[in-house]
A and B are shown apart, each in its own frame.
Chain A
Amino acid sequence: MSCDDVDDLTAYVDGELPPARDAQVRAHLRACAACRATEALLRDTVARLAELPAFEPSPATRRAVLAKLDALPMSWPERMRTWLRPAVLWPSAGLVAVLAVSLLMPRPGPDAPLALEDASVMELAANLELAEDYELLGLDSMADLEVVADLHELEVVQ
């Protein structure tokens, strides 16, 4: 080491140098008063920083962050889970049925009633293909979902 390699002095103080380099720096320090002075200054500074008072963050942040998460547009796995919950299945069943049927059949049967066990079929279809689209497009709204469904219908028609 020479005095030009001062970058290494802080790493030396931090115990971050590989052993061979550490030994070189140690040897240089024995011979060089200027670098020894810098080393002492750095060591003292590092020790001082540990004396700074601990920082107490605001307890209100937790509430604020959790509220922001609630306000986020739902991600697709959350959305799927919400739709497939029986209590909310019916309001969105029409759209989900369109999505599922457009994937699985060339032409939808007009009035096939949606049974709860169909949910697992839909989830499968969703996870297989639609999920990738939502992910890819970063979709946020119901309107976007219909666009995706249309895209798939076009694919089927081809």
Chain B
Amino acid sequence: MDDADLDAQAMLRVAAGDRRAFAWLFDRYHASVARFALRFVGNRERAEELTQDIFVKLYRNARAYQPTARFKTFLFRVATNHCLNEVRRGEYRAPHAPDADDTEGREMEGPRGDRPDAALEGRELERAVSEALAGMSARERAAFTMCRFEGMAYRDIADALEASESAVKSLIHRATLAVARRIEALQAGTVPARSRA
């Protein structure tokens, strides 16, 4: 039985009210959902709330799960719907780049020793990505995050977003290009200023 089958089996048990199966799925996917939420809202505290809400929703909607669908796609459909609804309701109206505290909490790597001229420092890269994310539409942000940080296929992202694959292709392209331009700009602006002595 492969991982996807194990997930599906666990989810069916959750649908029957099995809390242990739920805890197992939580442990497997908590980091993914939390990362998605953080990239989506750009703020740790809000991401934490969203993550909790998403898992509670997953539990409550467990009986809507069809084992023919990949569990991860189902989970991200719940996550995406929840995040997009929150934005629509205005609660998370102004997604923004992570606060200083947010980025400091993470272990940032320094520049890669093997390519000093090419690399932005980890913190600068993080900033470029966060700023670009903050400038995107909610759907671009969701599609980009699933693609770049969860490694999901376009087809699965389309399922999660309830969009066509061609729409997803455009969302991901615009978002990736926005990040690319931001990295480029930051690199052009800041790297010479911090000439590596």
Contact = CB atoms under 8 A, between A and B. Distances in A.
Nearest to B122: A53
A65 B176 contact: no
B172 interface: yes
Contacts of B153: 16
A95 B73 CA distance: 42
Given A51-B109, A58-B34, A61-B52, A45 B173 contact: no
A51 B170 contact: no
Contact of A57 (B23, B31, B169): B31
B26 A62 contact: yes
Interface residues of A, number: 35
Contacts of B149: 49
Contacts, number: 104
A46 interface: yes
Indicate the size class of the contact surface on chain B: 35 or more
Q: From DSSP, what is the main secondary structure of chain B's interface residues?
A: helix
A57 B48 CA distance: 8
Interface in B1-37: 16-17, 19, 22-23, 26-27, 30-31, 34-35
Contacts of A42: 176-177, 180
Nearest to A68: B56
Interface string A66-82: 10110010010110010
Given A10-B177, A62-B27, A72-B60, A53 B108 contact: yes
Nearest to B165: A16
A78 B14 CA distance: 12
A155 interface: no
